[in-house]
Copies of this chain bind each other. A is one copy, B any other.
Amino acid sequence: MTKIDIIGRGNVASHLKKAFASKSDVNIVNPHTLSDLREDSDLYLISVKDDAIPIVAKKLKARVCKDSIVAHTSGTTPLSALNGVCRNTGVFYPLQTFSKDVELKYSEIPIFIEGNSKRVEKLLKDSASLISKRVSMADSGKRRDLHIASVFCCNFTNHLWTLADEYLTKHGLDFKTLLPLIMETTRKASVSGPASSQTGPAVRHDQGILDAHCRRLEEEMEPELQDIYSLLSLSIMSHHPKK
């Protein structure tokens, strides 16, 4: 029986609690206050905002027994943020965007592990494998590279949808109109890979359409959209040279 204490009240903490709660060989608590933490748990998962991690870690220092592991769940905080807290420290980073009240297939969520010893890494890997079949090792450098890639894949793509939403609203059109197209684009990229799924005027090197779109954005005084349109179109053309 593995005893796990989860520290934090946010979305990641509540999803981790839910994921572990259904496992018969895990005994889990997610107390409301630090003073309710158990003193003899095998694993303490600190799942709080990045800047609160050192504060929580400091408070844990006096409370955990010497064989316990203290790990945080952040993609961007280095393992060294837990230095001095206890003998066994690690990172237990689930790569997903968690929302309240949304059911997720936990077994598909990648979890990235780092530990300050081989033993810690093995124990964290074993715990993560209880809830996910996509567990791998990643040190701070690898986590940062993953994070950069996820900024491009998720944060930036979502913002492009925001820009399109505003543009369509300005012209009396509805963003929802584009949802079937967005869904199908996502499906194609996930099945065939994004490079071979690229469509649009830039990949066809259709200079007539590219110029017409830029002129239109200029006429409408949308310099931000124009800059983004030009930069991304050039990037598409350089990644897909004219045949």
Contacts and interface: CB of A to CB of B under 8 A. Distances in A.
A240 to B, nearest CB: 9
A34 interface: no
A241 to B, nearest CB: 14
Given A200-B155, A201-B151, A235-B228, A142 B173 contact: yes
Contacts of A209: 76, 147
Interface stretch (A20-28, A39-47, A79-87, A181-189): A181-189
Contacts of A163: 152, 235, 239
A146 B190 contact: no
B146 A99 contact: no
A238 B224 contact: yes
Contacts of A65: none
A128 to B, nearest CB: 14
Contacts of A188: 97, 99, 158
A239 B165 CA distance: 12
A95 B149 contact: no
Nearest to A144: B216
A198 B162 contact: yes
A164 B155 contact: no
Interface of A: 76, 95-97, 99, 102, 104-105, 108-110, 134, 142, 144-165, 167-168, 171, 173, 175, 177-190, 193-195, 197-203, 209, 212-213, 216-217, 224-225, 227-229, 231-232, 235-236, 238-239
Given A155-B203, A175-B193, 12 more contacts: A99-B188, A102-B187, A149-B173, A150-B181, A152-B229, A157-B182, A158-B189, A158-B198, A163-B239, A165-B194, A175-B194, A228-B235
